[in-house]
Amino acid sequence: MKFKILKQSKKSLARLAEFETAHGKIQTPVFMPCATVGAVKGISPEELKAIGFKIILGNTYHLYLRPGEKLIKKMGGLQKFINWPGAMLTDSGGFQVFSLGKNYIDYETKEIKDSLVKVTNRGVWFKSHLDGSKHLFTPEKVIDIQKDLGSDILMVLDECTEHPATYDRAKKSMELTHEWAKRASDYWKKNGNKKQSIFGIVQGSTFKDLREKSAEYISSLSFDGIAVGGVSVGEGKENMYNVMKWIGPILPKEKPHYLMGIGEPEDILEGVKNGIDMFDCVLPTRLARHGTIWTTTNWKTFKKIDLRKSLFRNDKKILMPGCGCSTCKAGFTRAYISHLIREKEMFGMRLTSIHNLWLLNHLVEKIREDISSDRY
């Protein structure tokens, strides 16, 4: 990966940078919408492009189970399959496996069953949440799957440590992540694709020495970028911000830094100050589908508005004064969108999703401008 720092802030670790992929150049800081099964929920590729996005995220776990990486490869790769002209990052499926590693409701009987997951040194055995079929993810296999998907950036398999976790549990989980990362790095050296890049993942839960040790080890391997995992898993903002502060200064400056699963505007602002370049989250569209939008007047503090509340039934205002999203520019009122959301009308969910996505993209655009002008 060709990664270039264009401007370094004099006030913090924030930096304006650029990296090049087979599907175009990406300026950072950047937010990546989640196209979990090959689509950002309710939003077309044309709309994503119009908002300003140049990179989105696909989910290896879900795409592997259905429709399958072999079919996607046959169709010309993920971008051609979903008709997305920009770059794509695919995760390894590690977080989805983590999510399945709890009690679950059987898809047929609706009874509460034990975990769908068994973690071993070899990899992760799991049962599909779709049909109960058994599968194995290894560090090598998830690379092969992502190679078939044809994504621009691949993620290694890691174990996402749950919260709360004891020190011993977090240490053991981190060491397994390191073992898998080394296997992935070695495998990539022999079997990598020059058109694709691969990122390692830092773990260590909420323990400072483990996070520092993990950042040092993952940075020592031959990855194109460094991601920070195991945040936004219930640890709270204070712990999340501590992780950023601990490892931001020690991550390799010549590589992009990616904070996984973060989408709150305030968290993005904090992450950029600590040297983070890339963010992703399902939050903007998930909130939107339930009628919640973000608003701001100063782009430093943000407020959530729940349009399902009765006070918006007669509100003639647009979602956010001065907003440049197509929903607000078209003049759709809060009253109308509130009605659509209460009726579970898809159009209402699309209108709110477009607004939330625009807000996050405009936020990172503004951050880039502020760094460039020495205001950040």
In the block, which residue shows the tokens 């259905």?
66
Please count the structural domains in the chain. Answer: 2
pLDDT at residue 105, rounded to an integer: 47
Mean pLDDT of the chain: 94
94 known member of a binding site: yes
Average pLDDT of the segment spanning 232-251? 95
In a domain, 370, yes or no: no
281 known member of a binding site: no
34 known member of a binding site: no
Instruction: For 217-280, give the DSSP string.
Output: HHHHS--SEEEE-S-SSSS-HHHHHHHHHHHGGGS-TTS-EEETT---HHHHHHHHHTT--EEE
In a domain, 364, yes or no: no
pLDDT at residue 28, rounded to an integer: 98
160 known member of a binding site: no
93 known member of a binding site: yes
Position 299 confidence tier, pLDDT thresholds 50, 70, 90: very high
Whether 231 and 322 map to the same domain: the answer is no
In a domain, 365, yes or no: no
Out of 44-53, 227-236, 317-326, pick the least confident.
Answer: 227-236
31 known member of a binding site: no
Average pLDDT of the segment spanning 259-276? 98
Q: Going edge to edge, which strands form the sheet with 117-119?
A: 117-119, 124-127, 134-137
pLDDT at residue 73, rounded to an integer: 98
Position 162 confidence tier, pLDDT thresholds 50, 70, 90: confident
pLDDT at residue 271, rounded to an integer: 98
DSSP code, position 312 = G
pLDDT at residue 35, rounded to an integer: 97
Note the pLDDT tens digit of each residue in 91-122.
998 787 777 766 544 445 655 555 678 889 99
Q: Are strands 15-21 and 24-28 parallel, antiparallel or unpaired?
A: antiparallel
Amino acid residing at 196: Q
Whether 195 and 306 map to the same domain: the answer is no
Whether 53 and 191 map to the same domain: the answer is yes
Whether 221 and 87 map to the same domain: the answer is yes
pLDDT at residue 344, rounded to an integer: 97
Residues contacting residue 4 through CB under 8 Å, at least 6 positions apart:
17, 18, 19
Strand partners for 112: 105
Whether 10 and 155 map to the same domain: the answer is yes
- 160: helix, coil or strand? coil
In the block, which residue shows the tokens 């999203």?
325
Whether 195 and 269 map to the same domain: the answer is yes
The residue from 281, 314, 335 where one domain ends is 281
Whether 312 and 187 map to the same domain: the answer is no
Position 88 confidence tier, pLDDT thresholds 50, 70, 90: very high
Note the pLDDT tens digit of each residue in 121-150.
999 998 888 898 999 999 999 999 999 999
Whether 103 and 224 map to the same domain: the answer is yes
d(CA 81, CA 73): 9
Whether 178 and 254 map to the same domain: the answer is yes
In a domain, 375, yes or no: no
Whether 272 and 300 map to the same domain: the answer is no
Whether 73 and 93 map to the same domain: the answer is yes
Q: Which of 161, 151, 152 is nearest to 97 (CA)?
A: 161
Note the pLDDT tens digit of each residue in 164-191.
889 999 999 999 999 999 999 999 999 9
In a domain, 320, yes or no: yes
Note the pLDDT tens digit of each residue in 26-42.
999 999 999 999 999 99
Residues contacting residue 169 through CB under 8 Å, at least 6 positions apart:
161
Q: Is 91 among the catalytic positions?
A: yes
Q: Which of 56, 34, 3, 8 is nearest to 257 (CA)?
A: 3
In a domain, 363, yes or no: no
pLDDT at residue 104, rounded to an integer: 46
The residue from 281, 314, 343 where one domain ends is 281
**CB-based burial of residue 306 (10 Å sphere; 0-12 exposed, 13-18 middle, 19+ buried)?**
middle
Position 286 confidence tier, pLDDT thresholds 50, 70, 90: very high
Could you list the residue range(s) of the whole structural domain that residue 294 is in? Answer: 289-356
Q: Annotated catalytic residue: which of 91, 148, 152, 224?
A: 91
Whether 230 and 97 map to the same domain: the answer is yes
The residue from 261, 281, 301 where one domain ends is 281
Average pLDDT of the segment spanning 37-50? 98
In a domain, 274, yes or no: yes
353 known member of a binding site: no
Q: Are 9 and 369 a contacting pair, CB within 8 Å?
A: no
CATH code of the domain containing 88: 3.20.20.105
Q: Annotated catalytic residue: which of 114, 131, 280, 315?
A: 280
pLDDT at residue 220, rounded to an integer: 98
In a domain, 102, yes or no: yes
Q: What are phi and psi of 37, to 5 degrees?
A: -105, 20
